Amino acid sequence: MNKFAFHTMVLAFCCGVAAPVFAQDAQKKEEICFESRKGASEITKREIKPGLPNVKCSPKTGAALWYGDPFDGTVPMGKMPLLEKIPEGHAVIKPRSEKLAILPMCGTACHNGVGPAFNPPTLPKGKKPTPIPTMAGLLPGIENLQHGRGGIWCLDCHHTTKRDKLVDHFGDPVSFDQPQLLCGKCHGDKLRDWRDGIHGKRIGEFTSTGKKRWFVCTECHNPHDVQDGARNRGFIQLQPESPPQLPRGLKDAKHEKLHPIPH
């Protein structure tokens, strides 16, 4: 290799390293924090009024810690049976589909109804998801689906022909923005509690007809991984915020572990 080429390489290498650093700088200015669970929904910090942000992020865990504007980036929820009593526009959600980057391609690029000619369509007999290399590439670990304890598979939730949609009780397509219409198929008790505000999360105005942002099922639960793993209670484990200040004169909190219950 001649000297010139080597220098060019070094230069290119440096630029290659430098570019992401600059990019990081740009990103740093834009503070983004995750809401319920990591990877589901995010919110970008901005000012509503001088000195009043729309959100505050945790410097330790990156979680949203405080909402100045609870309706940031929301759209009307859409029709929901038995929620008709809520005035128009008072139930809003953050669209899930915007977060699902490949969704617009699902129904056109691969599952466009042309594909391998299934005529008549033959579907797998078993409930175990068949390993499909492309899907496994897009969704690592999907062949080991942690939902339904082996009793369900992809097309119990995803629409057979319209792959950018979910599917409800009657085989009709459901938008990814309204997963509750699908999840309620099996988890009816949870759907009822969610509708009444007992299960799940809502932010905004607390009066029963007030304007609220509703968190939909998949903002808190990962539908492909909800079963007990290294966690309990159906919610993915996350990093906690820092503990309270130690009482004056104490170096650590060992005394707390000396409680008298023999285990």
Partner 1 sequence: MLSMSSLMGTAALMVQSGDAKAAVEWAEHFQKNYRLMTAEEKAEARARLERRYSAEYGKQVSVDTTEAQPGVLMGYALNIRKCIGCRRCVKACVEENNQSRGNKPGERIEWIQVLRMERGEFSKDKMNHGYPEGLGIQVGGNAYTPAGAVLEGQYHYEPEAVPEKDATYMPIACMHCEKPPCVKVCPVRTTYRDPDGVVVIDYNWCIGCRMCMGACPYWARRINVANPVLPKEAMNPVTHYLGNRPRMRGVVEKCHWCLQRSRHSRYPACVEVCPVGARKFGNLLDPESEVSLILARKNVFRLKAELNTFPKFFYFYD
Q: Note the residues at the interface with partner 1 (CB under 8 A).
A: 35-37, 49-52, 56, 58, 63-67, 70, 193, 196-208, 210, 215, 220, 231-233, 235, 237-249, 252-253, 256-257, 259-263
Task: Compute the distance between CA of residue 52 and CA of residue 49 in angstroms, rounded to an integer.
Answer: 5
Indicate the pairing of strand 173-174 with strand 166-167.
Answer: antiparallel
| Smallest distance from partner 1 to CB 208, Å | 4
| Smallest distance from partner 1 to CB 130, Å | 33
| Smallest distance from partner 1 to CB 69, Å | 11
Nearest CB to partner 1, comparing residues 3 and 254: 254
Nearest CB to partner 1, comparing residues 35 and 164: 35
Nearest CB to partner 1, comparing residues 79 and 259: 259
Task: Compute the distance between CA of residue 85 and CA of residue 88 in angstroms, rounded to an integer.
Answer: 9
Nearest CB to partner 1, comparing residues 121 and 244: 244
Task: Render 77-100 in DSSP notation, one character per residue.
Answer: ----TT-TTSPTTSEEE--SGGG-
Task: Compute the distance between CA of residue 71 and CA of residue 239 in angstroms, rounded to an integer.
Answer: 26
Whether 113 contacts 164, CB under 8 Å: no
Nearest CB to partner 1, comparing residues 131 and 249: 249
| Smallest distance from partner 1 to CB 67, Å | 5
Q: Which residues contact 45 (CB under 8 A, 6 or more apart)?
A: 30, 31, 32, 33, 53, 54, 55, 56, 57
Nearest CB to partner 1, comparing residues 3 and 251: 251
Whether 175 contacts 97, CB under 8 Å: yes
Tokens found for residue 234: 């159906």
Q: Is the peptide bond before 120 cis (omega within 30 degrees of 0)?
A: yes
Three-state secondary structure call for residue 40: coil
Task: Compute the distance between CA of residue 231 and CA of residue 236 in angstroms, rounded to an integer.
Answer: 7
| Smallest distance from partner 1 to CB 111, Å | 33
| Smallest distance from partner 1 to CB 12, Å | 39
Nearest CB to partner 1, comparing residues 62 and 148: 62
| Smallest distance from partner 1 to CB 200, Å | 5
